[in-house]
A = this chain, B = another copy of it.
């Protein structure tokens, strides 16, 4: 009667199981936070025993770092796909700012905030954060450089411009849990405005003014 749970054991290949675990952890990281990645929580989600998670990740911290890396990589791939060398850098960045400043990006904002803070206590995670920072900066600065080469942008130091843009996005992301006060749109537009200044573009290029008629 009370034993409807605990069906039959399902035995998967280590690679599949591992990927499944990381995927579940990444979802938890995005929706609930990195500190909610616990052996029991992930095991429940996969209808599996906690010991199994330990088997694949003897130290939970490694799973936490992996989950963050997985989620961040996927997001970057979605925001600035590497397989689009023909796309106009201007269009790429327009999309980029539209997506990074919308509420749909809130989960990602929270995740970065989460990871940056947790890095204080978790060395393995800290290394992963550094790796991801490097990836994001590299990807964004490539787009900037591409734009400069095509004559769309002007920038002395593409990497510095990218870092500054990301700093503003991070600064705004810090408010994902607390809201942005009375200046939501004006503040949000700050990311795009920074890019416009850094890249020598006319004001409003990346942030279509939503003014009244």
- B contact residues around A181 at 8 Å (CB): 133-134, 137, 163
Inter-chain contact A120/B167, CB cutoff 8 Å = no
- B contact residues around A186 at 8 Å (CB): 157, 160, 163
* Interface membership of A177, Cβ < 8 A: yes
Shortest Cβ gap from A195 to chain B (Å) = 13
Stretch with Cβ within 8 A of B (4 or more), from A20-28, A88-96, A108-116, A202-210: A108-116
* Interface membership of A117, Cβ < 8 A: yes
Chain A residues with CB under 8 Å of chain B are 33, 110, 112-114, 116-121, 126, 129-130, 133-134, 137, 157, 159-160, 163-164, 166-172, 174-175, 177-179, 181-183, 186-187, 190, 197
- What are 7 inter-chain pairs, A to B, with CB distance below 8 A? A110-B117, A114-B117, A129-B178, A134-B181, A164-B190, A168-B171, A171-B172
Closest to A110 in B: B120
Known: A159-B183, A167-B168. 6 other contacts (CB 8 A): A114-B117, A130-B178, A130-B179, A164-B187, A167-B172, A167-B190
Shortest Cβ gap from A112 to chain B (Å) = 8
Inter-chain contact A175/B116, CB cutoff 8 Å = yes
- B contact residues around A171 at 8 Å (CB): 166-172, 174
Among A160, A170, A186: residue with most chain B CB under 10 A:
A170
Q: What CA separation (Å) do A38 and B170 show in the bound complex?
A: 29
